[in-house]
Structure formats: C-alpha cells, structure tokens
Structure 1
Amino acid sequence: MIRRAPRTLAEHSPILFPALMLVVFFVIPFSLMIAVSVFRRVPGGFYEPDLVFANYERFLTAFFGGVLSFSLGLAALVAVVSVGIAFPFTHRLVRLPRAGQIRWLVFLLSILSLSEVIIGFAWSTLLSRTAGITNLLVALGLMEAPQSLSPSFGGLLAGLVYQAFPYTVLVLYPALARFDPYLVEAARTLGASPLRAFFTVLVPGLRNTIVATTIMVFVFALGSYLLPQLLGKPQHWTLSVLITDQAIYQSNMPFAAAMAVFLVLVSLALVGLALMAGRREEGA
C-alpha cells in the first residue's frame, strides 16, 4: 500500500476531534498557566495582570533548588528501581506458557485499577506500628517490638515503585515478547552463562526500550502528588506537592503557575526523548 499525505478536509477528519481535545484541554489551559506565571501577586492573596519574572527568579533560591533536586532524584531512583525489577520479571513472564502470561497480565491490570488513594492508605497501614509488617517480624522473633516504618523515605520509595511497577511491565512486555529468544540461546551455546547472556545480548538489544521506559517511569514519578504526603515526611514532599501548597494554602497562584509550567516543560522534554529512543529502535 502506498501512503500519501491527506489532501482534503474529509481525509483530515479523523484527527480533527483529537486535535480539538488537545487544544481545549492542554493548549488553552497551558497558555493561561503561562500567562498567570508572569502576573504580579498583590497583598491579600490576589494577583493582577503584569509582565514580571520574579516568580521564575525564585527558582534560583536554595529552598526551590532543594525541592527540585529531591524531586528529580526521587523520580530517577524510582525509575531505576522499577525498571531494574520489572525487566527480569518481564523477561521471565514472556517465557511462560500463554495461560500463565494471561493470568499475570490480568493480575497487573487489576493493580492498575487501584487508585493512588487506596495504594497510599494500604502502604501506610502495612508500614504502621499497630497493624504493619513489623508485627509479623516480632512474631517471628526478628524484632523485639513493633515499629512504625512510615512516614519515611523508604516507605515513600516502596509505594512509588509498587505503583509504577505494573506500568513498567506492560511497557516492556511487547518489546521482550518480540525479541528473538534464539539470540540468547546462541550466546549460551557459545559458552556464555545465563547471567552473561542476559547482560551482553538481551539488555543491549533492548537498550532503547529500556531508556524509553525509564524516562516514562521518571515522568510518572515526577508528577506524584498523594503518596509523598501519605508516606513521606515534609522534607520528602515533591514539586507537585509544593505547587498545590503555593496555589491553595499560600494563595500564591503566580508562583504555583510558574512551577507548574516548569514541571510540564520538563515532562514534555523527557517524553520527547522517550519518543526519539523508540523511533531509533524501530529504525534499527
């Protein structure tokens, strides 16, 4: 089949509705957010139209730098841990019989049906002192008394990885399912150990997929809002939490809009990198 660019309005019609939704629900709100970000805040929690860049200058403060560095570091750690766990799991999943794969995929999809609220409260209960996992450790004689493991950085990391894990597996699954298993078997035949074949054949062969998936999970974790509040301490709050705090509780809408613009631009840039990595793999 020969492909050609659409020439008439009727041929463009399938993309008109998605384009309209994109304009209404993204372009217009994002444009308004950019406009508000350069407004001037006035006493009393209000703001007036202006063209000032004081809100963006606050990005250079030590407080914002600390929040930004923590948010980026947390998102990067969640992405690395999620992909590091999900990649070998998915590799094993695609080698199961078809019925076993379906059961695992249904189980992962059922996890996706859980809201962030349910996940947050479930993990906070699991890490609590009264009904948490430390009570089991006490019963096994591994601890003397139950302890609360939340709020803590470890609890926050565990909750975010749990939330991102199903998405990571479902993104990696198609690429691993298409990968030729005979390449790994050939490496084993030539004397490579299973671990060496995994890291010298499978991982390099899916390098672009791994990079794209890591970026996707990074963007997903960067926008996390509820789990940092439920499982972390105030010093563990991310940029998304700070945006809500400035907009609702501090009544500083211009600064909140400036931070939101920054977060959206970072996310779009990372999504662009993920798309470039995916195109490179398709070209290869």
Structure 2
Amino acid sequence: MQYLRKLRSTPLGLAIPAFAILLVVFGIPVIKLFLASLNAPAFSLANYEMFFGQAANVRILLQTMQISAVVTAISVLIGYPTAYLMVAASKPVRITLIVLVVLPYLTSGLARTYAWVVILGDHGLINNLLLELGLITSPLDLIYNRGAVYIGMVHIILPTVILPMVSVMLGIDKSLMSAARSMGARPLAAFLRVFLPLSLPGVRSGSLLAFVFCLGFYVIPNALGGLRDAMLSNFIASQVSTSFNMPRIAAAAFVLLAITVALLSVFGLDLSSTQTGSEGRNGKAQRTGLRIFSALARLANELSAPLRRKHWVSQLHQAAGRGRQWEMIGTTFVILVLGFLLFPSILVIFMSFSAGSSLGFPTSGLSLQWYKSFFEDPSWTGALWISIKIGTIVAVVATIAGTLAAYGLSRTSSQQRSFLTTVILAPNILPGIVVAVAIYLGLLNLGLIGSLTGIVLAHSVVAMGIVVVIVSGTLANFDHRLEQAANSMRAGPFRTFTRVTLPLIRPGIIGGAVFAFLSSFDDIVITSLISGFSIKTLPLKLWEDIRHQLDPTMAAVSSLLMLVPIFWLVVLYAMWWRSKSKTRAALPEPVA
C-alpha cells in the first residue's frame, strides 16, 4: 500500500491510468498481433512469404504506396504556395485564412467524402451542369476511378500539409529576406537561397504526415474508387470481415506498419547534418562533377554581377505594378484552394435544404423536409443518440486520463517526456486500419466486441493522445512557480492543483475534451470493426447507406456532421472571450 502511494506521488504515477488503458487495449494486442504474424511459438516467416508470394498482394501494396506518394506530392505542390501566401498576408487576414483551413480539417471526413459523391456522381453537380449546358450528351465517368480517389484524398489531407508549413514559416525571421534583397539578390534568388531552406522542416513534416496518413486511408478508396483502386487498408478490412485468418491479417498489417515505422524513423529525424555523409557515399566521380558545376556557377555569377547590379539599381524607383500583378495572382490562388476545401461542404449544406424529391443544384426551393425525415426516422435518431452517448463517455474518460498523463509528463525529463509522449501518440500516428485490427484483437480477448464498453475503450485510446497534446501545450506556458508559492503557504498537492493549476489550464482541458468528443463522434474505421452488428453509430449508418443507396436524407446527416465542429468552435471561442474579459476586469486600473 505504501508503495502504491509513493508511485502515485511521482510524476509518472499520474500517467498510469492512460498507459494502463493504452497497454491493455492497444499495446499488448500489437505484440500478440506481431507474434501471430510469425506463427508463434513456431516462429516462421511463412505468412510474410505468402503475402509477398501472391502477385495481387504485391500489386495492392505498390498501388497503396503509389497513390500515397502522388497525393502527397500534389498536396505539397498546392500546400506550399498556399502556406507561403498565408504567412505573407497581414495578421488579421492570416488568422482568418488559418481558421478557414482548420475548419475542413475538423469537419467529418465521411461527410466530405459524401460531398464528393454528390459532386462527381453520374447525376452529380458537374455532370448535371455539363448536360444542361449541352457540352456533353451522357454523364462523364468522374467517379469510381483513380482520379476521384486523388481528388478526395487531396481534399482530406491538404490541411494536414498546410498547417505544419505555416507553423514553420511563421518562425522564419523576415529580416533575412530583406537583408538578401539589400545585398542585390532578386526576389526569386532570395526565396530560393534563404526562405526555402529554412522552410524545409515544415515541408518534411507535412509530407511525412500526409504520406503516413494516406497509407491508412480506407473510406475514400472504397467510396470514390473502383475495384482497381483498392488500397492495403481495404484489403485488410475485407480479410477481417470474410476469412478472419489472423496470422495472414497480422502479416499484411505489419507490412503496412513496417513501412510507416521506417518512414518515421528515417524522415522523422533531423537530416540537416547529413550532407557530408551523403557526399561521402556518392563517390569520387560525383564529388568531381559537383566541383565542376560549382566552379562554372561561380564563374557565371562573377561575369553577370555587373549586369545584375545595374538591373537592380534601375528597378529601385520603379512603380510596383508587377508586384500588384503577383499579388492578384496569389490572392486568386488562395481563393481557389479555399474554394476546393470549403465548397463541397457548403454545397451539401445548401442542398440539404432542397425542396425537391431528389438532390439537385440549383435547388427548386428551400425546405426542411430532409431534416424532418432524419428526426422522424428512429434508425437515424437512434444512431445519433448512440454517437452522442459514446462521444460523451469517451470525452470524460480521455480527458481525465489524458490530463493526468500530460500533467505527469510535464514534470519528467525531456528525454522521458519525448519517448512517453511518442508512445501515447502511437495510435494517432500509425495507419488507422493497423490500430483498428490491433484494438479488435485486444477487445476480442476481453470479450468486448459488439459492446458499448469496447467502443468506448477503443475510441479512448485514440482520444487520449489528442488530449495529451492539447493539455501539454497549455502546460508549456504554465509557470510552475505559482505551485511552489502555493506549497510554501502550506497548500497540499490536491489543493494546489484544484485552486492554482486547474483554473489556469482549464481552457486546454476543455479544448481537449471537445476534440476527444469530435474524434469519437466521427470515427468510422475502428467502429466498423468493433461494433459488430449490434451497435450502429451515426457515421457507421451513413457509411453503410453511402455504399448502398443515395437517400437525400444523407445530405441532412452530412450537414449535421459538418456543423457539429463549427458549433464547438463557437462555444470554445465564447468561453475564451468570456475568460479574457474576466481577466481584464480583474486587473487593477493603472494609476494616473
């Protein structure tokens, strides 16, 4: 008993509930899954040999990596200039643009996938518009192909690429660009030689996150792609629902997991100091070639210096007409990107108020008939109530365990904190289908498949990582000397936490709870494996209906899923504004 009290008093003791849930529901099952892939206790590579021995499996694996690479490349090509233009804008405009990029990131991915079904379908917006204009005589094949998969995946993953780039670019000292310009560098040269190298960490982070997330995509290839566009996640999910050969499923899952871990291990490190080593590996011939090209470049630079100097001086006092032209081009580009991110959601919300008997744009009139149909259908309202119930319980469990873990980790050394935070974030980083299969195996051993408790535990494993990140960010700005002052006044640990620490980190806790709820409310991959046939959440019912029929009621459901995050953001902003107003009112007025 005394040992347990001592353990609870240590910083890591506070993280025990979170790591206990993580270990039982995810950690131990991952180990068992790996052992199953090796046919333990016989330990052989037969399952991996069988996986790579089948040409169809290898084709799906290569296709998964190809689709992920293409989507990542497109997202970076679109995201980098968007992030650059956002950072270059004034502060009010930049904040507005960041909010507009974050909104689709928080919106239900399943609802946005349904939006693209409505836009790209045979009777969707684009085909109907082209038919009415007389440009085509029959619907174009815009859906159930590779192009539709690329569009849907880029739409989902683009905010994940933009936000890390914006974060890194905001930390770049703008005076460096001004210094380069003052020394005669043209705008393009200053950008390539100064800004671009400093922004590469953001490009690396965004690209890595995009590629890893794309490896685990399940919904979009299934909803927008054809039979030839399946990814490894779809293959693993189909194996779970049909054959349930756990050793083969484990082998396929760990092939995907091995690729993810390899990428995180290599590209997740700081590669800024690897140039010397790479040069040594390239050999003497390449070093000689580099010296030749470097010498030629220096010679060309010296010969063109007088001409560039004269050109730079002649442009000093010219009107900024070309600058305004580039500003208009940049503004147009950002508007197009934001339209790509926001238009599908806005379209579905608008079409959900259609007065017609089917979805169409423009609508024949405005009506609430599809919302009425939703709330009068017990199958929809029952699924909504189950999702709210599960999301609320998950928010409570994840917030308590995640807050305690974040508070305990904040008092450990940086190395311990970094390692343990990575462990608790593993379910958020690894491909969703791998996490889902591991959790399925863990809950199967506990007899919780198809139960409300099992779904809550499964969702909590993912939601805890979100809470830890948000609360840890709040604790990073917390002054621990306030706790020391309270202790010096004979306040106990519990009283210090409730009267000093908790009120100051409350915004982070509330934010973590909200995002934990949203994470649970929108989940489809884990729920589809854990729920069985007894529990049907709102996203799960919407997903089943998308695959079988296109009822206009689904537009109302998708609109509700899109509006839930916006509602919570408004609530969080109102609470933040109220807290800020109270803080200002509590401050003493300055003495004249």
- Which TM bucket (shorter chain)? 0.7 to 0.9
> Quick one: which of 257, 260, 268 aligns to 2:250?
257
1:184 to 177, 183, 197: 177
Q: Distance in 2 between matches of 1:37 and 1:67?
A: 19
Structure 1, 261-270 or 179-188: larger mean CA deviation: 179-188
Q: Is the 8 A contact 1:138 1:145 kept in 2?
A: yes
User: Residue 138 of structure 1 contacts residue 146 of structure 1 at CA under 8 Å; is this kept in 2?
Assistant: yes
Aligned counterpart, 1:244: 237
Matches of 2:16 and 2:271, distance apart in 1: 26
Q: 1:166 Cα deviation (Å)?
A: 1.0
Tell me the CA shift for residue 191 of structure 1: 4.9
Cα distance in 2 for partners of 1:116, 1:67 equals 23
Which of the numbers 128, 140, 165 marks the counterpart of 2:158?
A: 165
**Partners of 2:167 and 2:202 within 8 A in 1:** no
* Cα distance change of structure 1 residues 278 and 28 upon mapping to structure 2, 3 Å threshold: farther
**Structure 2 unpaired stretches of 5+:** 1-7, 275-592
Residues 164, 205 of structure 2: 8 Å contact kept: no
Distance 1:141 1:277 in 2: 55
Two-structure CA RMSD over aligned residues (Å) = 2.7
Change (3 A) 1:144 1:179: farther
Q: Which residue of 1 aligns with 2:45?
A: 53
CA distance in 2, matches of 1:29, 1:20: 13
Residue 25 of structure 2 corresponds to residue 33 of structure 1: no
User: Which amino acid in the other structure matches residue 165 of structure 1?
Assistant: L
- Aligned partner letter, 1:262: V
1:23-172 paired onto structure 2 within 5 Å? 23-39=23-39, 51-61=43-53, 62-139=55-132, 142-172=135-165
Task: Using the TM superposition, give the Cα deviation of residue 125 of structure 1 relative to its aligned residue in structure 2, in angstroms.
Answer: 1.4
Code of the aligned partner of 1:26: F
Shift of 1:189: 4.3
In structure 1, runs of 5+ residues without a counterpart are: 1-7, 41-48
User: Using CA pairs below 8 Å that are at least 6 residues apart, which structure has the higher relative contact order?
Assistant: 1
- SS at structure 1 position matched to 2:124: coil
Q: Whole-Å Cα distance in 1 between the matches of residues 60 and 218 of structure 2?
A: 13
Q: Is the 8 A contact 2:130 2:136 kept in 1?
A: yes
Identity of aligned residues (%): 29
Q: Deviations over 1:108-151 (max 9, x none)?
A: 22212222321221112111121232333445565454323001
Asked if 1:214 is matched to 2:207, the reply is yes
Q: Is the 8 A contact 1:216 1:274 kept in 2?
A: no
Is the alpha carbon distance of 1:129 and 1:194 closer, same or farther for their aligned partners in structure 2, counting shifts above 3 Å?
Answer: farther
**Is 1:235 matched with 2:236?**
no
Deviates more, 1:254-263 or 1:108-117: 108-117
Aligned residues: 266
In structure 2, C-alpha distance between the alignment counterparts of 1:74 and 1:99, rounded to whole Å: 37
Q: Report how far residue 251 of structure 1 moved.
A: 2.7
Conserved 8 A contact 2:160-2:209: no
Alpha-carbon distance between aligned partners in 1 of 2:21 and 2:52, rounded to the nearest angstrom = 35
Aligned amino acid, residue 248 of structure 1: S
Q: Compare 151-160 and 55-64 and name the one that shifted more.
A: 55-64
Correspondence list, 1:195-206, <5 A: 195-206=188-199
**TM-superposed deviation, 1:74:** 0.9
Structure 1 segments, 4+ long, off by >6 Å, are 278-281
The offset of 1:70, in angstroms, is 0.7
The 8 Å contact of residues 129 and 147 in structure 1, kept in 2 or not, is answered as: yes
- Structure 1 residues 238-284: Cα deviation after superposition (integer angstroms, max 9, x where no partner): 11111111121233222111111221222122222343138979xxx
State the alpha-carbon separation in 2 of the partners of residues 38 and 184 from structure 1.
55
Counterpart code for 1:236 = D
Q: Partner of 2:431 in structure 1?
A: none
Highest CA radius of gyration, 1 or 2?
2
Taking structure 1 as reference, are residues 279 and 30 closer, same or farther at Cα in structure 2, changes over 3 Å only?
Answer: farther
Going from structure 1 to structure 2, the CA distance change for 1:277 and 1:77 (only over 3 Å counts) comes to farther
The one-letter code matched in structure 2 to 1:56 is Y
Q: 1:225 and 1:215 mapped to 2: Cα distance?
A: 18
C-alpha contact (below 8 Å) 2:64/2:232 kept by paired residues: yes
Tell me which amino acid in the other structure corresponds to 2:82.
F
Distance in 2 (alpha carbons) for counterparts of 1:29 and 1:56: 19
1:188/1:194 contact within 8 Å kept = yes
Distance 1:31 1:165, change over 3 A: same
Matched residue type, 1:159: G
